[in-house]
Amino acid sequence: MWAKDHPSFFSFLIFFFYLQVAIGIPAFVYQYLGKDKLFEGIIGAVAIITFFALQFQKMTQPYFVPTFVDPHNTSFANGVFRTKAKPATPTWLYICITNLGISTFKDCVFQVTFPQGFSISDKFDLYENRDYAKHFTVRATNTTAEFLPLDNYMTFAPCTNLIFPIYVLTPEDPAEYEIVTSLSSESAWGVHSQPLSIVVANK
């Protein structure tokens, strides 16, 4: 339910926060400091909203949520945090990331790191006819796919998504494996990481 509803939920939270600031601060000033200070209260509310919209994000990590999505699904909010695959089988994974921040993430670098046993295919002729295909570089013994802003459009606004198709060969050993997704942004501070799970099983 949360994976389905979080874009509208966070949109509401952002709107409600700005609304509270826009109304609450001038109302507080009017109530306790008098009508003649109302203009200063409005200026203060505008300053706080501007700070959170433009500067606060640069002081925090780029908070996002990753999910697996169906490539034919037109509603990418309906993602899941866990998927299944067969052992030693070439498999398409579509990873969707949603911006849960309060401002636009600009020129992002996105990495998907698989555990040992997975192998990422970087034969880009496989990706040519795939929706949402993006160029990437394979790093760290063929287990990390890195998507760079020089190669792709990697800017997205709050509560919007980017989709990343990746073609992998799964391990031979059945088990539940953790995938680590990481995002950095020109408009945010540091790197934020979030896990996903893939169950490799014969059934």
Q: Say which CATH number the domain at 125 has.
A: 2.60.40.740
Mean pLDDT check: name the lowest of 12-21, 96-105, 155-164.
Answer: 12-21
200 band by pLDDT with thresholds 50, 70 and 90: very high
Last residue of a domain, one of 58, 73, 94: 58
Same domain, 97 and 160: yes
Same domain, 82 and 48: no
The pLDDT tens digits of the residues spanning 116-159 come to 999 999 888 899 888 899 999 998 778 999 999 999 999 998 88
User: Tell me, what amino acid is at 126?
Assistant: L
Same domain, 156 and 113: yes
Same domain, 76 and 118: yes
6 band by pLDDT with thresholds 50, 70 and 90: low
Domain that holds residue 71: 62-200
Q: Is residue 159 within 8 Å of residue 10, measured between CB atoms?
A: yes
Name the maximum alpha-carbon separation found in the chain.
74
Same domain, 130 and 185: yes
Per-residue pLDDT, averaged over 2-16, amounts to: 64
Query: Cα–Cα distance between 113 and 7 in angstroms, integer?
Result: 25
User: Tell me, what amino acid is at 39?
Assistant: F
Instruction: Please indicate whether residue 73 or residue 43 has the higher confidence score (pLDDT).
Output: 43
Same domain, 25 and 110: no
Per-residue pLDDT, averaged over 37-47, amounts to: 89
Confidence at residue 176, expressed as pLDDT on a 0 to 100 scale: 96
To the nearest 10°, report the CA torsion of 130, 125, 149, 101: 30
| The pLDDT of residue 1 is above 50 | no
DSSP result, 15-82: HHHHHHHHHHHHHHHHHHH-GGGHHHHHHHHHHHHHIIIIIGGGGS---EEEEE--TT-S-TTS-BSE
Same domain, 51 and 75: no
Same domain, 70 and 36: no
Query: Cα–Cα distance between 156 and 104 in angstroms, integer?
Result: 6
Query: Cα–Cα distance between 96 and 164 in angstroms, integer?
Result: 6
The pLDDT tens digits of the residues spanning 79-128 come to 789 999 999 999 999 999 998 877 789 999 999 999 999 999 988 889 98
Same domain, 187 and 109: yes
| The pLDDT of residue 42 is above 60 | yes
Picking from 78, 71, 69, 84, the residue whose alpha carbon sits closest to that of residue 3 is 78
Domain count, the chain: 2
95 - beta bridge partners?
68, 164
Same domain, 66 and 161: yes
Picking from 3, 152, 136, the residue whose alpha carbon sits closest to that of residue 67 is 3
Mean pLDDT of the chain: 87
SS3 per-residue string spanning 89-142: CEEEEEEEEEECCCCCECCCEEEEECCECEEECCCHHHCCCCCCCCCCEEECCC
Last residue of a domain, one of 41, 58, 75: 58
Same domain, 46 and 78: no
| The pLDDT of residue 76 is above 70 | no
Per-residue pLDDT, averaged over 58-62, amounts to: 82
Instruction: Please indicate whether residue 52 or residue 196 has the higher confidence score (pLDDT).
Output: 196
Mean pLDDT check: name the lowest of 152-156, 166-170, 186-190.
Answer: 186-190
User: Tell me, what amino acid is at 75?
Assistant: S
The position carrying tokens 């992998």 is 168
Last residue of a domain, one of 43, 58, 73: 58
Confidence at residue 15, expressed as pLDDT on a 0 to 100 scale: 80
Same domain, 28 and 74: no
